[in-house]
Structure 1
Amino acid sequence: MKSSALLASRPVRWCGDSLRGLALASLIANIGIIVTGAAVRLTASGLGCPTWPRCTDESYTTTPEMGINGAIEFGNRLLTFVLVAIAVACFVGALARRRRSLIRLSVAIALGIPGQGVIGGITVLTNLNPWVVGLHFILSVALIAGAYALWRRVDQGDSEPVPLVPGPIRHLALVTTAVSFAVIAAGVVVTGSGPHSGDHGAKRNGLDPDRISQVHADLVFLLVGLTVALWFALRAVDAPPAAIKAAAVLFWVEMGQGLIGFVQYFTHLPVALVAAHMLGSGLVWTSTLAVLWSLRTRPLSALSPTPSPQATPAPAPVPTPR
């Protein structure tokens, strides 16, 4: 009887491990496409394929006459199909788990990727309008959030979330998350005012780069201050070690990102540092999500499928301030 129950649980555990890996692959791929999109912009390849959905009026693929810029832009378009394949695999894995929460998340990600492709096409058709390019980036941020949520929910149940820290600290974490998003959005506006437009003839948003950069920097200082306050608050209430560690990781990622940002600004935006800063934005956002998710859990109910060995343990009581 014991052995039959063990055998019955193996497919569920295998599905959980498989879906967890696929969700992580989706998260990494959605961060990675930020970098490949940066490569398109930084090499002035934004109009390497001058139309959409075709690459030229006669061909869906790049041609030798279009040179390296056409190859870079077309290569970035092809990565969309990789994201779609991973998203479909996540959906199949979620179906195998028979959990509506996972299915809904996987469907949202799967629908977001074609939407991302359409917005990318609009950027080409509008000759790289900086506001549309910015929207293209913001949707990537949303897809990262969805992929991260799917990755974390695999090992959690579908019950109501149980808080692991007092309410005021959760509110502070929400404010920190909102400011983190504001930092990214301000960075998008800074990019739209700067020299790396994706094509030498593309328009800029017309805002003063120095002033917008100052706004962006001010928001960064606010984010760092909130992160430090959150770390101290978590320690004061004996929060779970994972939450304290997540806040510390966020702080150091912010430090690295801030260093790259200042150096690139004072060295007149070299391509390599701008690409690193784009990657850093994805890492800051993911680290912010990690903090937010560490402050609550969803226990596995008795009716939930058998958890994998890495499943979330039962939550500890909410600690009280000393």
Structure 2
Amino acid sequence: MDRWLRGFGLASLVANVGIVVTGGAVRLTKSGLGCPTWPRCTDESYTTTPEMGIHGIIEFGNRLLTFVVIAIAVAALITAVLERPRRRRLVTLGLVTLLGIPLQGVIGGITVLTNLNPWVVGLHFMGSIFVITTAYLFWRRVVDAPVTAAPPRPLRHLAWITTAVSLAVVVVGVIVTGAGPHSGDGGAKRNHLDPELISQLHVDLVMLLIGLSVALYFAARIAGAPTGPAVLLIAVELSQGTIGFVQYFTHLPIVLVGLHMLGACLVWIATLHALHATRSPDRAAVPAS
């Protein structure tokens, strides 16, 4: 049963990242209004029709994937309840992940009803970041051994600062997207911010994040803590930054934009991994004095 729990936990994390990528494909192929209404695909049908063409197929296909992600989350939650009934936090994380997915579906529906308003689209992406966070924490709680030794407090503080800046990078990146050309539909509005100005702010935050991640590596090394999470974070950041610069100077080709969306999820997961490595001991694992 424990093997199933690990598998469902990882599958839930991967599926929630995957649906971000497919959602990006909807927007990048201008299929955001392939189904022009919600919860139906058209006023008369819940499914796409031949007249709607490839855009309808892409949008409706992404909606169907939501049910796959929900099914995996249900399986993970049920397995957690059956396997470890006394671990309430694990079950809570599984439940929050499960409830977050249909909530994301509702926000996605609102994006359609608001004609792909860029601020609502951005909220939809940040909702995915939240669900990815809970799915990651669920999986880590399954695979990790209990922590008994407290990390140095300055190291943990630095990890939290790095996490806050990483979140800011993601948020500003979403705003940059709302100012760019890939709106999801030819008639969708943009947020009317200066793309160059907001892009420069995004780059500045990325540089700050890389600097903090390097500092986190050296702090972990000095403290005798594992340095692998910081190394992984730096590697993912540099890869994502390279894609970001190339896409900017090549006028945002859709393939690179899609990879950059995937990279945003991976940067956030790597950030969570670095933060998780500095977590406090579990109360049940601390020996009684």
Please, which of 28, 33, 44 is the counterpart of residue 47 of structure 1? 33
SS at 1:225's partner residue? helix
Please, which of 216, 239, 251 is the counterpart of residue 256 of structure 1? 239
Q: CA deviation at 1:156?
A: 5.0
Q: CA deviation at 1:301?
A: 4.6
TM-score, structure 2 normalization: 0.95
8 A Cα contact 1:163 1:296, kept in partner: no
- Indicate whether 1:118 and 2:101 are aligned: no
Matched letter for residue 105 of structure 1: L
8 A Cα contact 1:49 1:70, kept in partner: yes
8 A Cα contact 2:27 2:185, kept in partner: yes
8 A Cα contact 1:49 1:62, kept in partner: yes
What is the match of residue 183 of structure 2? 197
Deviations 1:137-163 (A, max 9, x none): 001001111001000112457x8x655
- Indicate whether 1:65 and 2:51 are aligned: yes
Please, which of 167, 184, 188 is the counterpart of residue 174 of structure 2? 188
- Indicate whether 1:100 and 2:88 are aligned: yes
Aligned counterparts, 1:1-322, within 5 A: 14=1, 16-96=2-82, 97-98=84-85, 99-156=87-144, 162=148, 164-239=150-225, 241=226, 244-296=227-279, 298=281, 301=284
Deviations 1:63-109 (A, max 9, x none): 11100000000000001001110111111011112021111111101
8 A Cα contact 2:150 2:281, kept in partner: no
**Matches of 2:30 and 2:9, distance apart in 1:** 32
Matched letter for residue 120 of structure 1: G
8 A Cα contact 1:227 1:251, kept in partner: yes
**Matches of 2:8 and 2:256, distance apart in 1:** 30
8 A Cα contact 2:166 2:271, kept in partner: yes
8 A Cα contact 1:194 1:204, kept in partner: yes
- Sequence identity percentage: 64
SS at 1:82's partner residue? helix
Which consecutive unaligned segments of at least 5 residues does structure 1 have?
Answer: 1-13, 303-313, 316-322
**Matches of 1:250 and 1:91, distance apart in 2:** 29
Which consecutive unaligned segments of at least 5 residues does structure 2 have?
Answer: none
Q: CA deviation at 1:294?
A: 1.1
